[in-house]
């Protein structure tokens, strides 16, 4: 997957909350950046071989700034630490053009936005966009503590602030998220959006399904997923080169291919971003990503080689 890149500079850097840095990225010559829609993200090239995705959390109506919010994760694989340590004001950095895997539904009658911790970032951009459209929505921002959060002041001062509710574990019980009430009764035009830690998302999605919301009206974006490479070994054939390799239990297809000299562009390495997507010519994938839709997985003609495996004894890939 080839992605166009941009050269930008860190125009502004703010520390918001404990461990959250908010960056404004801009064209070095002050020119407008390519337009983006709420829910989009960019890849930030932090160093050779280290590329990470971050949701754009600014107002899509502002063409001169891409804003991202990054939590310094103690279990970081290098990305968030590099952002916090290296991206200071004035620093040049290469990013991708925006890509949107988490778009708003244009004709939704009502949107319910639920963000957990740093997962609120795409929801902030969504709130700006929905307000500009005059659409009905509510944003619910959940976290362990107010002190840990970014964007609090911005959301309090926004024109859409009456539509924002915050819920913190260490504050009064009355303000905690009552998900049953928030989700309410499902309707044809009601859409639910959720982003945050995996357990939090699973809870919101499960409750939404239990409440009767249609699965295609529940939209989600994962920013971190555990990769499971368990399972029997299988053969992978790279059709273009004719090379074949055995993928061992506990090994990714990506790593196995690298062992025979086949390099595939990667980024997240967790089945989130889609960078390592390959076409399947033969065999049945065991999809373990959160990038492909259920219909795309059922078609069995594509695979993310960073995390997925095979149900068949052999996979033939168009690489």
Q: Mind spelling out the 3-state secondary structure of 247-266?
A: ECCCCCHHHHHHHCCCCCCC
Q: Are residues 38 and 15 in the same domain?
A: yes
Residue 228 lies in a domain: no
The CATH number for 285's domain is 3.10.20.30
Contact between 285 and 315 (Cβ < 8 Å): yes
Contact between 67 and 25 (Cβ < 8 Å): yes
Closest to 236 measured CA to CA, from 266, 278, 276, 269 = 278
Q: Are residues 204 and 137 in the same domain?
A: yes
Q: Are residues 182 and 84 in the same domain?
A: no
HEC-encoded secondary structure of 58-105: CCCCCCCCEEEEEECCCCCCCHHHHHHHHCCCCCEEEEECCEECCCCC
The Cα–Cα gap between 59 and 237 comes to 45
What is the residue range of 281's domain? Answer: 234-317
Residue 263 lies in a domain: yes
Q: Does residue 220 have a pLDDT over 80?
A: yes
Q: Are residues 134 and 199 in the same domain?
A: yes
Residue 242 lies in a domain: yes
Q: Are residues 121 and 83 in the same domain?
A: no
pTM: 0.81
Residue 68 lies in a domain: yes
**What pLDDT, in 10s, does the model give residues 9-53?**
999 999 998 899 999 999 999 999 999 999 999 999 998 878 888
Q: List CB contacts of 255: < 8 A, sequence separation 6 or more.
A: none
Q: Are residues 88 and 19 in the same domain?
A: yes
Residue 304 lies in a domain: yes
Residue 265 lies in a domain: yes
For residue 17, give the 3-state DSSP assignment: coil
Residue 144 lies in a domain: yes
Q: What percent of the chain has pLDDT over 90?
A: 79
What mean pLDDT, rounded, does the chain reach? 92
CA 151 distance to own-chain centroid: 18
Residue 105 lies in a domain: no
The CATH number for 194's domain is 3.40.50.80
For residues 233-238, average pLDDT = 96
For residue 245, give the 3-state DSSP assignment: strand
Q: Are residues 216 and 133 in the same domain?
A: yes
Q: Are residues 135 and 210 in the same domain?
A: yes
Q: What percent of the chain has pLDDT over 70?
A: 97
Of the three residues 99, 132, 148, the one that is the final residue of a domain is: 99
Of the three residues 78, 99, 120, the one that is the final residue of a domain is: 99
Q: Are residues 146 and 198 in the same domain?
A: yes
Of the three residues 99, 119, 144, the one that is the final residue of a domain is: 99
Q: Does residue 134 have a pLDDT over 70?
A: yes
Q: Are residues 20 and 79 in the same domain?
A: yes
Q: Does residue 2 have a pLDDT over 60?
A: no
Query: What is the token pair recorded at 154?
Result: 């911005």
CA-angle at 90, arms to 58 and 196, nearest 5°: 35
Number of domains comprising the chain: 3
Q: Are residues 92 and 121 in the same domain?
A: no
């Amino acid at each position: 997957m080839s992605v166009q890149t941009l050269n930008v500079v860190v125009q502004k850097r703010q520390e918001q909350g404990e461990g959250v840095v908010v960056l404004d990225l801009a064209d070095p010559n002050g020119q407008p950046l390519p337009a983006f829609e709420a829910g989009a993200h960019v890849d930030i090239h932090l160093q050779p071989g280290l590329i990470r995705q971050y949701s754009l959390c600014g107002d899509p109506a502002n063409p001169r700034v891409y804003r991202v919010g990054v939590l310094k994760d103690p279990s970081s694989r290098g990305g968030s630490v590099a952002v916090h340590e290296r991206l200071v004001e004035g620093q040049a950095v290469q990013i991708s053009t925006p890509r949107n895997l988490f778009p708003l539904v244009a004709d939704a009658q009502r949107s319910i936005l639920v963000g957990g911790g740093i997962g609120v970032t795409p929801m902030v951009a969504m709130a700006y966009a929905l307000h500009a459209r005059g659409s009905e929505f509510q944003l619910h921002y959940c976290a362990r503590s107010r002190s840990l959060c970014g964007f609090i002041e911005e959301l309090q001062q926004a024109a859409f602030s009456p539509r924002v509710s915050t819920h913190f574990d260490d504050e009064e019980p009355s303000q905690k998220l009552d998900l049953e009430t928030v989700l309410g009764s499902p309707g044809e035009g009601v859409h639910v959006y959720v982003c945050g830690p995996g357990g939090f998302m699973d809870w919101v999605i499960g409750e939404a399904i239990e409440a009767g919301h249609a699965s295609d009206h529940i939209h989600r974006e994962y920013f971190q997923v555990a990769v499971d490479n368990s399972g029997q070994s299988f053969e992978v054939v790279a059709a273009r080169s004719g090379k074949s390799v055995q993928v061992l239990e506990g090994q990714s297809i990506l790593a196995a291919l690298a062992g025979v000299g086949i390099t595939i562009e990667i980024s997240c390495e967790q089945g989130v971003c889609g960078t390592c997507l390959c076409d399947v010519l033969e065999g049945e994938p065991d999809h373990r990503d959160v990038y492909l839709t259920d219909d795309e997985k059922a078609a069995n003609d594509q695979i993310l080689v960073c995390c997925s495996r095979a149900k068949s004894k052999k996979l033939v890939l168009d690489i």
